[in-house]
Structure 1
Amino acid sequence: MALPIVHHPDYDAESVPDSHRFPMRKYSLLADLLRERGETFAVPAHAPESWLHLAHDPAYVTAVLTSSVDAKAARKIGFEMTPAIAARTRASVGGTCLAARLAVEHGAAVNLAGGSHHASYEGGAGFCVFNDVAVAARVMLEDGLCRKVAVIDCDVHHGDGTASIFAVDNHVFTASLHCEDNWPRTKPPSDLDVGLPKGATDSDYLQALDSFLKGAFGRSAPDLVFYNAGVDPHQKDRLGLLSLSDEGLRERDRRVAEACVGQGVPVVGVLGGGYEKDASAVARRHSFMVDALAAATAPQGRTAFSSPH
């Protein structure tokens, strides 16, 4: 079977203008790019409120769903809390939960959103409203579909919300490979943290990645992986501070995909960050993760699609 891909039209919240630092159109642009290649999508349901309570303060969840988040909290998140944003984030969480179930069934799956790793139990931050991976991990564990989860976070920013949510949860191993000099300034410890210096290049990054993956799998022995494939380590990213090329990102995604498949562990790919002004360039880079998982899980003798360099 082809790699399962999850998408919901609500991922692209029209209330966020193109002038915003967060390139919201990347979600619809990525979906269009994949449709042009003949891909079809599984459509998730919006996450029910009870699922959101598995990782977030119920009072905060209610405030988001009723568009009553106070102004200070909304500024910390970076979005005005509108009904469209609430619908978008519930769809994104539902998408990661569906992708997790599909990954367990098929070996891998992708949500064409997600990776909102700055959202903590108390509330959102850094363009992250609800922590979709945290919710999905808790749903999968509660439903008995896995026993040990690893979160492999390669977004350029430290996965602080995820680390704090699972700080005392032995069922979830959190690992973050990020730019140490970047936001957030306060980084609660993950189970495994590797911080790279500002300006790190492809070779620096990939060398660190190999050790990072070895450590993550060696210390966690997961039966489900969530892979945050943020493309903000790219050299043109406005918020990244690292210097990876397109080729470096492709190779990163290939190594992560092959490491998970080689260990026989189902993997859920989520998009994470990407902040270049050109939303179409960001969308194209996000497709690298889709290509890598498709190639790594393709049946022997069948060639998965790979985008041109």
Structure 2
Amino acid sequence: MDSKLYYDIRETQLPIIYRPEYNVHFLGLEKLHPFDAGKWEKLHPFDAGKWGRIFQFLKNAGIVSDRTVTIPNLATKGDLLVVHTKKYLKSLKCSLRVAYIAEVPPICIVPNYFVQLGYLQPMRYQTGGSILAGKLALERGWAINIGGGFHHCSSDKGGGFCAYADITLLIKFLFNNFPQKVKNVIILDLDAHQVRFPS
């Protein structure tokens, strides 16, 4: 498989993965999600800017810097097809479908070009970060992707603000690229509610 998601990092880099493009900024529509950040303080799971604030917190604490953070690449259609069906990925070109997945109804009237840029592209960057985190965890013994964890998505369904099955993709990439090292995987989900769509 030809993917640019796996790459080697410098010894001075940490396996803490983030890029500013993780943050969903979508004309304020991201605040219309039923679990708006205003209800749950600053770092609620659906707070679209939380990833930047988490990274800034880690920088302020001296844990990571712009030079030591690992910056992931964007998950491409080819990367996503490792798990997702072509039909599902094509359905994301319909703003109505994406509005259902994101649980933000007004997205249905937004031209899909803007939906791709404002919502789906940040999700693809975070998915790339999750996949890279799997490789780095094997190499370094640990890794943290500040974004990702889209556990409401499966190969042909999305929901709960989750458009891509990054956890399943991480596992498939590990099985495909490290078959001698990875035989079994356990997913420990510490979210406050149950997964809707096991992948």
Q: Same fold (TM over 0.5)?
A: yes
Aligned pair partner of 2:184 in 140, 145, 148: 148
Aligned pair partner of 1:75 in 97, 100, 107: 100
**Using a 3 Å threshold, how does the CA distance of structure 1 residues 7 and 72 change in structure 2: closer, same or farther?**
closer
Counterpart in 1 of 2:122? 88
On the 8 A contact 2:23/2:48 being kept in 1, the answer is: yes
CA distance in 1, matches of 2:77, 2:97: 23
Q: Indicate whether 1:97 and 2:131 are aligned.
A: yes
> Which structure carries more relative contact order (alpha carbon 8 Å, separation 6+)?
2
Higher strand proportion (structure 1 or 2):
1
Q: TM-score, normalization: structure 1?
A: 0.48
CA distance in 2, matches of 1:31, 1:16: 22
Deviations 1:51-91, CA, capped at 9 Å, x for gaps: 21122121222343xxx225155224324333221211110
Q: Indicate whether 1:122 and 2:156 are aligned.
A: yes
Counterpart in 2 of 1:35? 59
Deviations 1:190-211, CA, capped at 9 Å, x for gaps: xxxxxxxxxxxxxxxxxxxxxx
Q: Which has the larger radius of gyration?
A: 1
CA distance in 1, matches of 2:167, 2:27: 23
On the 8 A contact 1:51/1:139 being kept in 2, the answer is: no
On the 8 A contact 2:88/2:156 being kept in 1, the answer is: yes
Identity of aligned residues (%): 25
Report deviation, 1:3: 5.4
Deviations 1:27-70, CA, capped at 9 Å, x for gaps: 11111111112213100001121221122121222343xxx225
Runs of 5+ unmatched residues, structure 2: 1-10, 37-45, 108-114
Q: How many residues align?
A: 160
CA distance in 2, matches of 1:70, 1:12: 19
Structure 2 matches for 1:157-236, cutoff 5 A? Answer: 157-161=193-197, 163=198, 165=199
Q: TM-score, normalization: structure 2?
A: 0.73
RMSD of the TM alignment (CA)?
2.0
